[in-house]
């Protein structure tokens, strides 16, 4: 049985930074990734706020570069999905679709997935009028009518992106003002084909011929409802941490994020949480990579004191 120093779960920016720091420090580490490098970052067309790229960089390329940067020092990627974990013994066990892995420490870097509206027919209509990636699917709605649900940064960016393609973009937001940072406000207000529907939530998704055809909106002010006909609905209402596989192995907060402070230490010794999956104020690529380095620092400290 091979026992690694560190198993890293998740191949986004936090995971591959941890892999880089671990292998460069001479530790025996493996990274488990279910699909391909980059995580949520790989779904981002243009990244303008990761330093060192004066003309921006696309997220997929940055993910591949982070992987090859870690491989340069011997990091390995195991392509498999983690099914369950057992952190109850000194030697930690991670069960994957390719079999069991054992290690002295584990760094959890599983990130987050787009949050769903939680409406019955939503999953059936995903990719058929209900979408979570405007950058990927927006072009199928050229000159059509779409709605963006949400009021944060990613919703604002999606609405702006779609306004350049589509005939009309509705922005459905449950509050009366955007949560997005100022940089988005002016261009959105200026775009003539963007219309804000303040104080509404999506109550129902209407479908015809197996495709979404509109939605029933409900006022958060007086409870009134009305039907809005759209060709596509782009959902951008935040993220959900990927922690269900942990099954209680570490402590989570009420929203499912792993409770850990800036040391990235969880409530279990030798287990660390990095990137978007951790409780933190700002979820960005720069804070994710920072977590990756910090976690390896404390993992080394743990390994030194337990060997």
Segment near other proteins (CB under 8 A); pick from 123-131, 176-184, 236-244, 273-281: 123-131
Catalytic: which of 28, 58, 86, 133?
Answer: 133
Catalytic residue flag (residue 166): no
Contact between 167 and other proteins (CB under 8 A)? no
Segment near other proteins (CB under 8 A); pick from 134-142, 166-174, 247-255, 262-270: 134-142
d(CA 55, CA 65): 16
Shortest Å distance, C-beta 35 to other proteins: 5
Can you tell me which of 65, 93, 116, 211 binds other proteins, judged by CB under 8 A?
A: 211
d(CA 63, CA 59): 6
Can you tell me which of 3, 68, 72, 128 binds other proteins, judged by CB under 8 A?
A: 128
Can you tell me which of 6, 18, 29, 44 binds other proteins, judged by CB under 8 A?
A: 44
Catalytic: which of 136, 176, 253, 261?
Answer: 136
User: How many residues does the structure list for the chain?
Assistant: 307
Contact between 84 and other proteins (CB under 8 A)? no
Q: To the nearest 10°, the Cα dihedral for 9, 13, 17, 23?
A: 50
Contact between 71 and other proteins (CB under 8 A)? no
Shortest Å distance, C-beta 32 to other proteins: 12
d(CA 33, CA 168): 39
Contact between 13 and other proteins (CB under 8 A)? no
Shortest Å distance, C-beta 131 to other proteins: 6
Can you tell me which of 3, 91, 136, 269 binds other proteins, judged by CB under 8 A?
A: 136
Contact between 12 and other proteins (CB under 8 A)? no
Catalytic residue flag (residue 133): yes
* Count of residues interacting with other proteins (CB under 8 A): 27
Catalytic: which of 28, 58, 86, 137?
Answer: 137
Contact between 95 and other proteins (CB under 8 A)? no
Shortest Å distance, C-beta 30 to other proteins: 17
The 3 state secondary structure assigned to the chain is CCEEEEEEECCCHHHHHHHHHHHHCCCCEEEEECCCCCHHHHHCCCECCCCCCCCCECHHHHHHHHHHHHHCCCCEEEECCEEEEECCCCCEEEEECCEEEEEEEEEECCCEEECCCCCCCHHHHECCCEECCHHHHHHHHCCCEEEEECCCHHHHHHHHHHHCCCCEEEEEECCCCCCCCHHHHHHHHHCCCEEEEECEEEEEEEEECCEEEEEEEEECCCCCEEEEECCEEEECCCEEECCHHHCCCCCECCCCCECCCCCCECCCCCEEECHHHECCCCCCHHHHHHHHHHHHHHHHHHHHHHC
Can you tell me which of 93, 135, 168, 297 binds other proteins, judged by CB under 8 A?
A: 135
Which parts of 215-244 interact with other proteins (CB under 8 A)?
Answer: 232
Instruction: Give me the residues that bind other proteins (CB under 8 A), please.
Output: 34-36, 38, 42-45, 58-60, 79, 81, 97, 126-129, 131, 133, 135-137, 140-141, 211, 232
């Amino acid at each position: 049985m091979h026992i690694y120093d560190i198993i890293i779960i998740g191949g986004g920016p936090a995971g591959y930074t941890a892999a880089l720091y671990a292998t460069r420090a001479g530790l025996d580490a493996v990274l488990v990734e279910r699909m391909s490098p980059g995580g949520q970052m790989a779904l981002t067309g243009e990244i303008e706020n990761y330093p060192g790229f004066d003309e921006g960089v696309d997220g997929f390329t940055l993910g591949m570069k982070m992987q090859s940067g870690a491989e340069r020092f011997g990091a390995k990627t195991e392509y498999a999905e983690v099914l369950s974990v057992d952190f109850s013994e000194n030697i930690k066990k991670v069960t994957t679709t390719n079999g069991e892995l054992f290690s002295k420490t584990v760094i959890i870097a599983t990130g987050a997935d787009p949050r769903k509206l939680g409406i019955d027919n939503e999953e059936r209509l995903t990719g058929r009028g209900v979408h979570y990636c405007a950058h990927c699917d927006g072009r199928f709605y050229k000159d059509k009518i779409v709605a963006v649900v949400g009021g944060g940064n990613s919703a604002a960016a999606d609405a702006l992106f779609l306004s350049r393609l589509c005939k009309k973009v509705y922005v459905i937001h449950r509050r009366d003002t955007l949560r997005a940072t100022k940089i988005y406000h002016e261009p959105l207000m200026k775009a003539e084909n963007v219309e804000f529907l303040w104080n509404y939530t999506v109550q129902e998704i209407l479908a015809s011929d197996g495709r979404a055809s509109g939605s029933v909106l409900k006022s958060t002010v007086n409870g009134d409802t009305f039907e809005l006909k759209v060709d596509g609905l782009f959902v951008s209402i935040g993220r959900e941490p990927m922690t269900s596989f942990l099954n209680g192995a570490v402590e989570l907060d009420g929203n499912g994020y792993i409770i850990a402070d800036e040391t990235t230490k969880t409530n279990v010794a030798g287990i660390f949480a990095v990137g978007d999956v951790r409780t933190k104020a700002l979820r960005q690529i720069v804070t994710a990579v920072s977590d990756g380095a910090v976690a390896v620092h404390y993992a080394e400290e743990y390994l030194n004191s337990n060997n």
